[in-house]
Amino acid sequence: MERVAIVGASMTQFGQRDAWVRELLAEAGAAALDDAGVDGDDLDHLYVSNMASGEFEGQTGVPNALAHDLAAQPAYTARIDQTSSSGGAGVYAAWQSIASGASDLTMLVGGEKMTHRTTSEATDVIASLTHPVEYKQGVTLPSFAGLTARLYLDEYDAPRESLGKVAVKNHKNGVDNPHAQFQKEVDLDTVLDSPIVADPLRLYDFCPITDGSAALVFCPESVAEEYAPDGSYAVISGIGGATDTHVVHERADPTTMGGVVDSSDIAYEMAGIGPDDVDVAELHDMFTILEFLQSEDLGFFEKGEGWKAVEEGVTDRDGELPINTSGGLKSKGHPLGASGVAQVYEIFKQVTGDAGPRQVEADTGLACNVGGFGNCVTTTILEGSQ
């Protein structure tokens, strides 16, 4: 099986944008093509990660629209929808296209336009992924987070403040990310005094609603230096995808995300490494509690110990295992279909030594992209070429 390299990457400004989804996708796509030094018509495959452009703005058929806008015809196109993990699933699809030999050059563009909707409407679009018996009870993804956070704090005797420290850390990281929606620090008192959204979680425990796009260009490792002669490319050394139950309350342990466990097991085995070999990670902190769950289910910390790592600064940018150097979804923003792509963008920047003020020492990085409330997960491991 051919090893797959990433030779181009881009992301747009995340936040409240005037552009609509087609324009956002084209902005990121054109920048990634430029970064790789190729044109649209060089692409064999073009994928778009997007959850709900039809529901949000009435625009469907976005891959074909993007192919036209970038003059990429006759590239094969497809839209990848796996809810909030559409980006990770798109990375998986792009990796498959190269690894299988079906494509010699593939671009993935993830994007979403959301901020023109009210919070209530956007929340409902996202909650539409739930089972009918959940949906009719008025459940939202934030309420799943509140339910899980209460149980986690109770079972593992974790202080409420530890969740707030995730928000503080990721906002601090976001200050150095020029693409982040929020580039300002918050203090713990601000987090703990913010309005309750799904208790015990408060406003600053949640990511914002965001517009934005990100893109990656993939090719076989054997030809990567043709696109990146200076060696500034990364290799996907491991990737795994997995699902957990659709109905969240049916999971044996509500504080364990089985899809994270299973997808990372596959990715670690493919890469021939374990969690101790990871130097930097981007986790899906749509809610602060998710950073604890994923850091444990990825094997970075023992079950119930993830909160202690945050308390002790282990996951700070200058800590032993920096997590969410980009600011995470919490600070950078969460334009659904773009988020998993932007996570890999950050890891690409870290392992190629191009992360600017966010740079940490990293040869190997991991991105974990979660859809639903752990329903679908893709874990991707990147290694720098040098």
Partner 1 sequence: MSDHEHDDATGSDGEASSGDEPTFEAAEYADGTVTYPPHTVSPNGAERVGTVDLREYEARVVTWTTSTATPPGVREPNTLAIVEFEMGDGYDGPPVRALGQIAERDGEGGGGAGADGEQFAVDIGDCVEPVYADELREPGAGIREPESQDWDGFRFRPVE
Q: Name the residue nearer to partner 1 (CB basis): 34 or 154.
A: 154
Query: What six digits make up the tokens of 100?
Result: 């299988």
Give the nearest distance from C-beta 250 to partner 1 in angstroms: 6
CB of 237 to partner 1, least distance (A): 33
Torsion (CA) 355, 357, 362, 363 in degrees, nearest 10: 30
Closer to partner 1 at the Cβ: 74 or 195?
195
Which has the closest alpha carbon to 263: 376, 173, 353, 97?
A: 376
Answer whether 328's CB lies under 8 Å from 285's CB. Answer: yes
Structure tokens at 298: 């990825």
In the complex with partner 1, the residue whose CB is nearer, 39 or 193, is 193
Residues making contact with partner 1 (CB under 8 A): 55, 119-121, 123-125, 127-128, 131-140, 142-143, 146-151, 154, 195-201, 247-250, 252, 254
CB of 281 to partner 1, least distance (A): 27
Q: Which is nearer to partner 1, 34 or 253 (CB)?
A: 253
Q: How far is the CB of 169 from partner 1 (least distance, A)?
A: 24
Question: Shortest gap between Cβ of 55 and partner 1 (angstroms)?
Answer: 6
**How far is residue 167's CA from residue 71's CA, in Å, rounded to a whole number?**
41
Closer residue to partner 1 (CB): 141 or 355: 141
Q: Are 267 and 240 in contact (CB under 8 A)?
A: yes
> Are residues 28 and 50 in contact, defined by beta-carbon separation less than 8 angstroms?
no
Which residue lies nearer to partner 1 by CB, 146 or 340? 146
Tell the smallest beta-carbon distance from residue 194 to partner 1 (Å). 12
The two beta strands, 196-198 and 201-202, are antiparallel
- Radius of gyration in angstroms for the set of CA atoms belonging to the chain, rounded to a whole number: 19
Q: How far is the CB of 137 from partner 1 (least distance, A)?
A: 5
**52 forms bridges with which residues in the sheet?**
none
Residue with smaller CB distance to partner 1, 250 or 320: 250
The secondary structure element, H or E, covering residue 146 is helix 141-156
DSSP H or E segment with residue 379? strand 376-384
Q: Which residues of 42-60 are buried (b: 16+ CB within 10 A; e: fewer)?
A: bbbbbbbbbbbbebbbeee
